[in-house]
Amino acid sequence: MTNPSAPEFTVRHETSGDIDAIRALTAAAFGQVDEAELVDALRASGNGIKGLSFVGVLDGEIVAHALLSRCFVGEAPGVCLAPCSVRPEHQRTGVGTAVIEALLAEAARSGEVFAVVLGHPEYYPRFGFSPASGFGITLHVDVPDEALMAMPLAGEVPAGALAFAPEFGV
């Protein structure tokens, strides 16, 4: 008996026609609307970086989404990866990984120096993230050290206090 082949999906930039589908996907992935509203707020404020929001599409349906928003370590601009969403029935298929890898590669190509993420310490190291404390990054709220991670993209990760976009409320 052979294993069925993995579903084939495409990864592409978000378009204006994707907004409703991204909102529904994000709400489904998180089981609430808070993260979907965060995506909308980041997009509306301009803190969600134009051109750095990607979707994964399977059979014409958006099944994954990730975006980068502006953050700062001290005065140095960087990008924050969040939120990342995969429709529950498509989790663990590789589509989320593909979207994040493509998004981080595009950020590096566009000259973004570093990225941060506050997330699952078992998941994000596969992309090159490691504890932000190792770079000398601090955050003014208590979070588990292993959950706040950073990585270089097109330069060095600076040391200093991390500030997320105001929409995060952190």
Q: Mean of the pLDDT values across residues 52-78?
A: 97
Taking only the tens place, the pLDDT of each residue in 73-93 is 999 999 999 999 999 999 999
Span 34-48, mean pLDDT?
95
pLDDT given for residue 111 in this prediction: 97
Task: State the Cα–Cα distance between residues 105 and 100, nearest whole angstrom.
Answer: 8
Q: What is the pLDDT of residue 7?
A: 61
DSSP letters of the chain? -PPPPPPP-EEEE--GGGHHHHHHHHHHHHTSSHHHHHHHHHHHHT-EEEEEEEEEEETTEEEEEEEEEEEEETTEEEEEEEEEEE-GGGTTSSHHHHHHHHHHHHHHHTT--EEEEES-TTTGGGGT-EEGGGGTEE-SS---GGGEEEEESSSPPPPEEEE--GGG--
pLDDT over 90 (residue 96): yes
Q: Is the pLDDT of residue 5 over 90?
A: no
pLDDT at residue 43, as a whole number: 94
pLDDT higher than threshold 60 for residue 9:
yes
Q: What is the pLDDT of residue 6?
A: 54
